[in-house]
Structure formats: structure tokens, C-alpha cells
Amino acid sequence: MVKQKPQSRSAKKHPPLSIIRGLILALIVLSAGVVLWVKNQNKPVQIGTTELAEAQFDHNLQQKKPMFAFFHSTDCHSCVEMMSLVDEVYPSFRNEVALVDVNVYDSANQNLLRRARILSIPTQIFIDSEGNGKVFLGVMSKEQLQQELKSLTEKPK
């Protein structure tokens, strides 16, 4: 009679390495997809142009059009909060006030950041038809944003 050795606890059968690698790869791809989806959920109102932010800014100044320049990133908590507020409030002013949406991490916007002396985000600049500006740092209340946009639509006295 042949005696069988009892299996030790450490001799458990493990799934093949290829299955483990496949699962890890699937988790990485899924995680990346979720991150990209979440980041794209909070896009600010777009003004329907592919023109660079600096060109939009200069064009609005030349045309003496009231302007709301919004400097932000897509991954800071305060910026995301402010982006949501802009999405909610700005559409009712879109026909009277130009929006210049400036992502501070876009390398194409670096010159405008220097010109506007942007040091922290979110930063909102409200420029009237005379070229006078008002700067707000941080998150504004809904009422503040509405009031500032409304003041840009009023004719100077």
C-alpha cells in the first residue's frame, strides 16, 4: 500500500499567471476609463469656438464686448465647484457677455496667464465694455456671479 503525503497548506492550486495578469490589466483599463469619465463630467459651458483663449480675450477687448474670463483647472475642487456654478448661471447671459474659458494647464494659454497675472485658481475676471476689470479669487456664490454678470450687461452712465 502506497502512502500519500498530505498536501501542505502552502501547496494550494493558484490560477495561472496569465489570468492574474489579464485581471490586473482589465482593472487598470477600467480605472483609467472611470477617471477620464469623471474628469469629463464637469466641463464648463463652451462658447462654440475653437479659437485660442488669448485670441478670444483680445477680440472681445477690441470689440468692446463685456467679457467674463474664467481661469481654472479641471482637477482642483474649488475649480470644479466654480465650473458647475458657471454652467448653471452663465447660459442666461451668453448673448450679452462673452465667456473666455481658460484652462490654466493648457500650454496654449500660458501667455494669457502671464498677461492676466494669474497666480491662483479659480480666478474670475469681469471686464465691462469700457475695458474696466474686476477680479474675484476663489469660489463665488451663485448670487455674486449673477450680480457681476448682470452688471456687465448694464449700460455705463
State the pLDDT at residue 68. Answer: 97
Q: 494647464: which residue's cell?
A: 105
State the pLDDT at residue 2. Answer: 59
**What percentage of the chain reaches a pLDDT higher than 70?**
79
State the pLDDT at residue 33. Answer: 72
Mean per-residue pLDDT, 14-29: 80
Query: Any idea of the CA torsion for 106, 112, 116, 119, to the nearest 10 degrees?
Result: 30
User: What is the distance of C-alpha 142 from the center of its chain?
Assistant: 18
pLDDT tens digits along 78-130:
999 999 999 999 999 999 999 999 999 999 999 999 999 999 999 999 999 99
| 64 pLDDT higher than 50 | yes
Cell numbers linked to 14: 493558484
| 49 pLDDT higher than 70 | no
Mean of pLDDT over the chain:
84
* CATH for 41-153, options being 3.90.930.12, 3.40.30.10, 3.30.2270.10, 3.60.20.10: 3.40.30.10
Cα(12)–Cα(5) distance, integer angstroms = 14
- pLDDT classification of 48: cutoffs 50, 70, 90: very low
- pLDDT classification of 22: cutoffs 50, 70, 90: confident
